[in-house]
């Protein structure tokens, strides 16, 4: 994966860098409630300023669908960003002259209908704000928008510090990984992660399937899953994936025992049982302790691990046990240097945080759709545009 970094842009003294960032943060009563994405902006802004440049930040907020929606203005985000950056930050609309300040946040790019259609004229308008372009928003890289793809073809372009770290981690996970490679894929439905599963069985040595989708695979093997969440119409698809895995040498790991409950609720009456003894009215809400121990041995034999999705209903105690046990094992292996661990997706990040190991993984991606599309093996337009720039530079 070839792309330019900030160092490739040369001397930035007196130059403006148009930086695509992710400021789509949660808010309540006009205040930012989680500044995780804002903190991810700082390394690149600091690097640009240290190189003598100025930063013009492009970002979207919400889904205004090409219209000016005051409630979706980025203006309320600016004070929180200024606090994170520990410096003054100006705000400007696209009708304003750029303020004479080192860091400027532009208004919501999605107020323009041409943003999501990757309109060339809008991309030119964005490009006119600066001298170079930096994409530091991996979470938006799966969108071919004017601020992520179009502009990257109009200015010298590079990956920001956070983006470069993300791409390096992903390359280490599935591009050129140390083997054996394991993958944990959980979640409610096979249908939402079908492309991920089909891609991974060609890429990894061990595929661990958990959550509700594991029930579909168990059903496809003739197991009774009681009243559990199960896409019975996906049984043929599940069998096809299992056959493909066998052909590619990928070992698929499904629950060997389960935690069956009487209701989908916190603390619901439950029991550990074998696969042949799930009651007709029972719900499988977690993998059992025997499975958890088996999976810990599986990842201990791996050198690389990719994780997307929990093994059970982790948001309801005690049905988080298998997810927590495996997450803590992965964290311990990572800390010891035995494992490279990369995880992503909203539920995954929440589950790892609940297990107290979020900071112990090699890399945690806060991207949702972009991370999932990367796991599917799809080309991300925002990344492809940076690779195109690297190719053009090598030719020049």
Q: So which residues are the catalytic ones? A: 37, 189, 346, 369
User: Residues 92, 185: one domain?
Assistant: no
Burial of 301 by CB count in 10 Å (0-12 exposed, 13-18 middle, 19+ buried)? Answer: exposed
- 172 occurs within a structural domain: no
Average predicted confidence (pLDDT) for the chain:
94
Annotated ligand binding at 36? The verdict is no
- 171 occurs within a structural domain: no
Annotated ligand binding at 110? The verdict is yes
Q: How many distinct structural domains can be found in the chain?
A: 2
DSSP 247-307: HHTPEEE--SEEEEESSSSTT--EEEEEGGG--TT-EEEEE-HHHHHHHHHHHHT-SEEEE
User: Residues 383, 360: one domain?
Assistant: no
User: Residues 194, 340: one domain?
Assistant: yes
- 352 occurs within a structural domain: yes
User: Residues 267, 358: one domain?
Assistant: yes
The reported pLDDT for the residue numbered 94 is 95
CA 183 to chain centre: 15
Work out the percent of the chain whose per-residue pLDDT is above 90: 85
- 165 occurs within a structural domain: no
User: Residues 186, 141: one domain?
Assistant: no
User: Residues 183, 135: one domain?
Assistant: no
Higher local confidence (pLDDT), 367 or 320: 320
- 192 occurs within a structural domain: yes
- 203 occurs within a structural domain: yes
The reported pLDDT for the residue numbered 395 is 44
User: Residues 228, 83: one domain?
Assistant: no
Annotated ligand binding at 108? The verdict is no
Please give the Cα distance from 311 to 213 (Å, whole number): 9
The reported pLDDT for the residue numbered 1 is 56
Please give the Cα distance from 283 to 261 (Å, whole number): 5
The reported pLDDT for the residue numbered 369 is 83
Whether pLDDT at 112 is above 60 = yes
Annotated ligand binding at 37? The verdict is yes
Work out the percent of the chain whose per-residue pLDDT is above 70: 97
User: Residues 195, 147: one domain?
Assistant: no
User: Residues 228, 359: one domain?
Assistant: yes
- For residue 149, give its domain range: 6-160+379-395
Annotated ligand binding at 22? The verdict is yes
Residues 258-290 have pLDDT tens digits of: 999 999 999 999 999 999 899 999 999 999 999
The reported pLDDT for the residue numbered 116 is 97
- 370 occurs within a structural domain: no
Annotated ligand binding at 303? The verdict is no
User: Residues 136, 207: one domain?
Assistant: no
Phi first, then psi: give them for residue 96, nearest 5 degrees: -90, 155
Annotated ligand binding at 377? The verdict is no
Mean pLDDT of 59-67: 96
User: Residues 21, 128: one domain?
Assistant: yes
Whether pLDDT at 251 is above 50 = yes
The reported pLDDT for the residue numbered 182 is 97
Question: Of the candidates 292, 273, 294, 300, which has an alpha carbon nearest to the alpha carbon of residue 284?
Answer: 273
Rg (CA), the chain: 23
The enclosing domain of 129 has a CATH number of: 3.40.50.1260
The reported pLDDT for the residue numbered 391 is 61
Whether pLDDT at 389 is above 70 = no
Whether pLDDT at 244 is above 80 = yes
User: Residues 236, 350: one domain?
Assistant: yes
């Amino acid at each position: 994966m070839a792309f330019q970094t900030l160092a490739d842009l040369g001397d930035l003294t007196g130059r403006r860098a148009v930086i695509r960032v992710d400021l789509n943060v949660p808010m309540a009563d006009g205040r930012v409630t989680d500044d995780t994405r804002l903190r991810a902006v700082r390394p690149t802004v600091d690097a640009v300023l240290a190189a003598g440049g100025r930063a013009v930040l492009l970002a979207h907020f919400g889904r205004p669908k090409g219209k000016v929606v005051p409630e979706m203005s980025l203006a309320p985000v600016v004070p929180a960003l200024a606090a994170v950056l520990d410096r003054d930050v100006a705000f400007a609309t696209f009708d304003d002259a750029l303020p004479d300040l080192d860091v400027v946040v532009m208004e919501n790019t999605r107020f323009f209908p041409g943003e999501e259609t990757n309109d060339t004229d809008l991309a030119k308008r964005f490009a006119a704000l600066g001298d170079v372009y930096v994409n530091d928003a991996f979470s938006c890289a799966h969108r071919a928008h004017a601020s992520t793809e179009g502009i990257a073809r109009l200015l010298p372009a590079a990956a920001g510090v956070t983006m470069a770290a993300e791409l390096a981690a992903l390359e280490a996970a599935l591009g050129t990984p140390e083997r054996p490679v394991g993958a944990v894929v959980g979640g409610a439905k096979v249908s939402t992660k079908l492309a991920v599963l089909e891609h991974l069985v060609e890429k990894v040595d061990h595929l661990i399937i958990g959550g509700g989708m594991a029930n579909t695979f168990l059903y496809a093997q003739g197991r009774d899953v009681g009243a559990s969440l199960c896409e019975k119409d996906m049984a043929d698809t599940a069998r096809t994936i299992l056959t493909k895995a066998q052909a590619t040498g990928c070992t698929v790991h499904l629950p060997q025992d389960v935690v069956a409950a009487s209701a989908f609720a916190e603390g619901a009456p439950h029991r550990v049982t074998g696969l042949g003894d799930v009651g007709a009215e029972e719900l499988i809400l977690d993998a059992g302790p025997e499975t958890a121990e088996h999976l810990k041995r599986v990842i201990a034999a791996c050198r690389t691990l990719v994780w997307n999705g929990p093994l059970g209903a982790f948001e309801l105690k005690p049905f988080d046990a298998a997810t927590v046990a495996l997450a803590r094992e992965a964290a311990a292996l990572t800390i010891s240097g035995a494992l490279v661990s990369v995880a992503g997706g909203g539920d995954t990040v929440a589950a790892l945080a609940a297990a107290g190991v979020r900071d112990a993984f090699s890399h945690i991606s806060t991207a949702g759709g972009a991370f999932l599309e990367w796991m599917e093996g799809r080309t991300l337009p925002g990344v492809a545009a940076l690779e195109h720039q690297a190719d053009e530079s090598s030719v020049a």
